[in-house]
Chain A
Amino acid sequence: RKEVEQDPGPFNVPEGATVAFNCTYSNSASQSFFWYRQDCRKEPKLLMSVYSSGNEDGRFTAQLNRASQYISLLIRDSKLSDSATYLCVAFEAGGFKTIFGAGTRLFVKA
């Protein structure tokens, strides 16, 4: 079993739709969580951190549920430019080791 698991998708949604991704992690000692975005043939870039209280950045909302060990990302009013792969990331306790999920592919269509 992978330490961080994501639905690979792809998710195909029309512009303006709301889409949600989930990610589960197996190490209960993981302490920090993030969502990264990766465009085709490009390097991953930080999208947002994930806090227990939930956090929002414009059209993006991230949630962490420690009891159930899952993280979610909600994208509202999807844009064509949101088409990318979204990677869930967990830092292990101690923080040196970062575990990436395999990513969820999103296609937003006009």
Chain B
Amino acid sequence: NAGVTQTPKFRVLKTGQSMTLLCAQDMNHEYMYWYRQDPGMGLRLIHYSVGEGTTAKGEVPDGYNVSRLKKQNFLLGLESAAPSQTSVYFCASMKNLQSEGGNTIYFGEGSWLTVV
């Protein structure tokens, strides 16, 4: 059982370049999230999705776009990377709120992104 898988794990970008982070989950979870984690800031929610075809803004959405065309995938795009987007990005998924234990969040292993 792979759980939540993120690719790539490491990437160095030049300012202005674009890239997409891919998140895939094989647990048939409804909800998916993208967070960034910076020293002393904790995990901050970028965007999230409550189901296939739906997305919503989180705490720090500027400079990012997302898509959830398939239930198992949640893509995070950086259209024009900036040094301020250097961070560790975590994807996460959650089953739903109705079932017992359904609100446990499962994280991917993280993607380390450096923008120079």
Partners in one complex: yes
Q: Which of B33-52 contact A (CB under 8 A)?
A: 33, 35, 40-45, 48, 50
For B42, give its contact among A45, A91, A96, A101 (CB under 8 Å): A101
For B31, give its contact among A4, A8, A46, A96 (CB under 8 Å): A96
Q: Does chain B have a CB within 8 A of A14? A: no
Q: Does chain A have a CB within 8 A of B107? A: yes
Knowing A96-B31, A98-B33 are in contact, say whether A44-B103 is a contact too (CB < 8 A). no
The distance in angstroms between the C-alpha atoms of A56 and B55, with both chains bound, is 36
Q: Is chain B's interface secondary structure helix, strand, loop, or mixed overall?
A: strand
Q: Which of A45-90 contact B (CB under 8 A)?
A: 45-46, 87, 89
Knowing A87-B42, A95-B97, A100-B42 are in contact, say whether A45-B107 is a contact too (CB < 8 A). yes
The distance in angstroms between the C-alpha atoms of A97 and B46, with both chains bound, is 11
Knowing A101-B42, A102-B42 are in contact, say whether A95-B48 is a contact too (CB < 8 A). no
Shortest distance between the CB of A43 and any CB in chain B (Å) = 4
B50 and A96 contact, CB distance less than 8 A: yes
| Interface set of B (CB-CB < 8 Å, partner A) | 31, 33, 35, 40-45, 48, 50, 56, 58, 90, 97, 103-105, 107-110
